[in-house]
Amino acid sequence: MKVDILAFGVHPDDIELGCSGTLIKSIEQGKKVAIVDLTQGELGTRGTAATRAKEAADAAAIMGVHARENLQLADGFFQINETSIRKVIVAIRKYQPSIVLCNAVEDRHPDHGRAAQLVDEAAFLAGLRKVETTDATGNAQTAWRPTYVMHYIQDRYLQPDFLFDISDVMDKKQAAILAYGTQFNIVEPGNEPTTYISSPDFLDTIVGRNQLFGKRIGVKYAEGFISKKMIGITDFNAIVQHTT
């Protein structure tokens, strides 16, 4: 399946928190979108790999993405090595996206920055025809390099290169996040510990960040992205109009 946007998250729920509004809006605009989770989030304090898989599927249905898969790298311990890079290359060549979205370039969780570097390297190497890979059925894959690799912003504030208006899909974004019932908005922790992200207060910070970014471009909510590659436009109508 060829898609327009392929979003990578090192943990199930990274994408929902960081860029799900952009994915939902893009799908409504007619774009094809797929998600690849690098790990199962098996080291998470709350829940299990099995519950996270079910929650990820529920969130995918809410967002309306066209495909979602998991590469099952080792949560917390995956390395930027040939084995990991090749798995990401296979996914990129499978979906042949124009745009790749992936984790923040640096963040509170060390997996996030390492995953960003992993996907960056894989996206470049995926375009080299002498890097040979095969698909799930053993057929040789064609080299493919995305036009852009863009990083969503996660826990730490990073200055974005551009902002994406998600005002009219913010409710869907919140629903996708809340699909992770073991992770977020936990009022009664039960038998599992309270975590940094489990309190309802944590979700307030996500909404607040999106409001902050929205205010910067004169809309209610927005998500921020970093691109190492300069972005060009061919139409000034692409610029969100607002007053300063």
pLDDT score, position 243: 57
pLDDT classification of 240: cutoffs 50, 70, 90 = low
pLDDT higher than threshold 80 for residue 209: yes
Q: If you search the block for the tokens 């290169």, which residue do you land on?
A: 161
Alpha helix segments (H runs only) across 64-109: 82-95
- pLDDT value for 189: 86
Nearest to 108 by CA among 228, 218, 197, 201: 197
With CA atoms as reference, report the closest residue to 242 among 209, 208, 219, 212.
219
pLDDT band at 241 (very low <50, low <70, confident <90, very high): low
- Nearest-5° Cα angle at 107, 168 to 203: 40
Domains of the chain as residue ranges with CATH = 5-229 (3.40.50.10320)
Q: What digits encode the pLDDT tens for the residues 50-88?
A: 999 999 999 999 999 999 999 999 999 999 999 999 999
pLDDT tens-digit map of 163-182: 999 999 999 999 999 999 99
Q: Supply the pTM of this predicted model.
A: 0.96
Mode of pairing for the β-strands spanning 162-165 and 222-227: antiparallel
Tens of pLDDT, residue by residue over 107-154, are 999 999 999 999 999 999 999 999 999 999 999 999 999 999 999 999
